[in-house]
Structure 1
Amino acid sequence: MKKKALIALPFAAVAAVLIAYQIIFTLPESAKVSTLSPSIKTPELACYNNPDAEVIDQQGKLNLLVWNIYKQNRPNWQSALQSLAQDKQLVLLQEASMTVGLRAWIDKGQWSGNVVDAFKAFDTSAGVLNLAHQLPKLACAYTEMEPWLRLPKSAIYATYPLSNGQVLAVVNIHAINFTYGTEEYHRQLGALANALSKHTGPMIVAGDFNSWSEERLQVMKSLLDKLAVKEAVFQPDHRKQFINGLPLDHVFYRGLVLEKAKAPLSDASDHNPIEVYFSLP
């Protein structure tokens, strides 16, 4: 009897994990983007289109914040985000949990934007989030399943009009993390690089690339080199690093003038934020 009970224990443990997984997480059937705006209500769509988009830069200046905000798990996330975002025209967040607190902060600051739900945990969406004071011209959702954790990672491809008549393409990515090899990583970045390859104007590709190995760096750079983008160099550079010293967060750009870029220290997330200041050529 004891032997049968011991044999049954692993199966019971697996069953308990599967039940808990189904209770906690809800996965989207397909990649969809939700639009956040105080003035309009739109359903979840694969792509959001806005023919009346306004320019995103401010007199030729485009200040950018890129930050994995760690699902707002640190108590000082709100004060840190408020300080970092106050002079920015574009905010790209990864691991944004669409809690009541974050939604209230977005509404109070009169931000608009788009979020791609990687998954819902206890009915609260989590994924990548683009914020600006104007809605984009286009925003499309991308997701890729983590092969081990079976939870998707998300990305947004968006376009924004500029005051010089050009259109800026922006990718905000939270890349696949736990894999053996680079197949899924290559597929996720390749889909976004393919979308960007059709864009002839300026672009920004930024986020948490989870570039913790030389193999991943090679995949990332081989795909992005085809787009003729440059990588921002930070001073100071306190980007989160893997144990081997490789940074996980990156900003690439094309067709913009880089004024300055920095990655300051912050204890409001497990990643340090990135601030980049561009001007139009």
Structure 2
Amino acid sequence: MRHYRSDEAGIPLPDTFSLLTWNVHKEMGRPPFDKTLQSLLATGTPELILFQEAVLDTHTAEHFPGYNVSAAININLRHRQYGVLTAAKSPIHDTVSLKTNRREMHIATRKSLLITTHPFENGSELVAVNLHAINFVSAAVFIEEIDRLRIALQQRKGPMIVTGDFNTWSRKRMEYLEGFARSIDLLPATCANGHHIKQRFSKPLDHLYFRGLTLLTAEAVNTGRVSDHNPILATFKR
């Protein structure tokens, strides 16, 4: 796990807050991506940002001024790492990172997820899960890894958001994900412009689930070819 600014600095989450979730396809630091990110942040300054395939290096914090940032690494190179990244205007009180037990076929990497907690103004906390699910493996292995997340979350109480790139390109994967969500009382966010969410074999890969919150808005935003996925912007009320 890597922390950029994850101390007690920041303010609690307001009762109404927004988030941005996005598989950024290792594009951070490239001018087209950086310009698009700044444009997205300027539209509403989301309190939470959850990236998959984030670039983790000495310049990462520069993308998120005013945010606390934690990341779970799954690819570790000499001068740069990649993984899931969660940035928050609020303090990050607790972080748990998990890597898949299994490795992906062909490229032999593990995937990572990050669980963080964020205080609300009334003292309660939001659990945020940022996940990039394992790919290029059998449905049985996918199920095994998602079940590890279910076990990690089943004792967690209160408001929760689970989001990321789930690689749900098969019926069996999609059905198991839906069952996982029901098992811990998560609801799916239905996005406006949902056709902008990346699909494979006519099934969406990116998802946003929640509980203990009211979903006010959710939209998939077409960012062209900045990444091979498009971001989802959502607003919730506690």
Fold shared per TM-score above 0.5: yes
User: How far apart, in 2, do the equivalents of 1:135 and 1:55 lie?
Assistant: 7
Superposed, which structure 2 residues align to 1:177-196 within 5 Å? 177-179=135-137, 181-196=138-153
Question: Cα deviations across residues 107-154 of structure 1 (Å, max 9, x unaligned)?
Answer: xx1221210110123431100000012331111111114331211111
Structure whose residues are more often helix by fraction? 1
Q: Where does residue 222 of structure 2 map in the other structure?
A: 265
Q: How large is the RMSD of aligned CA atoms in angstroms? A: 1.8
Residues 120 and 229 (structure 1), Cα distance of their counterparts in 2 relative to 1, 3 Å cut: same
Secondary structure at 1:66 match in 2? strand
2:74 aligned with 1:118, yes or no? yes
- The residue that corresponds to 1:246 in the other structure is 203
Could you tell me which residue of structure 2 aligns to residue 21 of structure 1? none
Within 2, Cα distance between the matches of 1:146 and 1:77?
29
Equivalent position of 1:68 in the other structure: 23
| Equivalences, count | 231
Query: Residues 141 and 155 of structure 1 are in contact (CA less than 8 Å); yes or no, is this contact kept in structure 2?
Result: yes
Identity of aligned residues (%): 31
Structure ranking higher in strand proportion: 2
Alpha carbons 1:55, 1:160 under 8 Å: kept? no
Tell me whether 1:96 sits opposite 2:51 in the alignment.
Answer: no
Residue type matched to 1:68 in 2? N
Please, which of 92, 95, 98 is the counterpart of residue 139 of structure 1? 95
- For residue 230 of structure 1, what is the aligned residue in structure 2? 187
In structure 1, the residue corresponding to 2:75 is in which secondary structure?
A: strand
Q: CA deviation at 1:53?
A: 7.4
Distance 1:184 1:75 in 2: 37
Is the contact made by 2:116 and 2:127 (CA closer than 8 Å) also made in structure 1? yes
Per-residue displacement from partner, 1:196-236 (whole Å, max 9, x unpaired)? 21111010000000000001011211112111111000111
Q: Which amino acid aligns with 2:26?
A: K
CA distance in 1, matches of 2:191, 2:178: 18
Structure 1 residue ranges without an equivalent (≥5):
1-32, 41-51
Distance in 1 between residues matched to 2:92 and 2:61, nearest whole Å: 19
Question: Which residue of the partner structure matches residue 23 of structure 1?
Answer: none
1:101 deviates by: 4.3
Q: 2:3 aligns with which of 35, 44, 57?
A: 35
How far apart are residue 67 of structure 1 and its match?
0.3
TM-score (ref. length: structure 1):
0.77
Could you tell me how far apart the structure 1 residues matched to 2:176 and 2:211 are?
A: 19
Q: Would the aligned equivalents of 1:204 and 1:252 in 2 still touch at CA under 8 Å?
A: yes
- SS of 2:111's partner is strand
- 8 Å CA contact 1:61, 1:279 repeated in 2: yes
Alpha carbons 1:128, 1:155 under 8 Å: kept: yes
Q: Do 2:54 and 2:84's aligned partners in 1 also have CA atoms closer than 8 Å?
A: yes
8 Å contact from structure 1 (residues 53, 161) kept in 2: no
TM-score, length of structure 2 as denominator length:
0.90
For the pair shown, the structure with the greater C-alpha radius of gyration is: 1
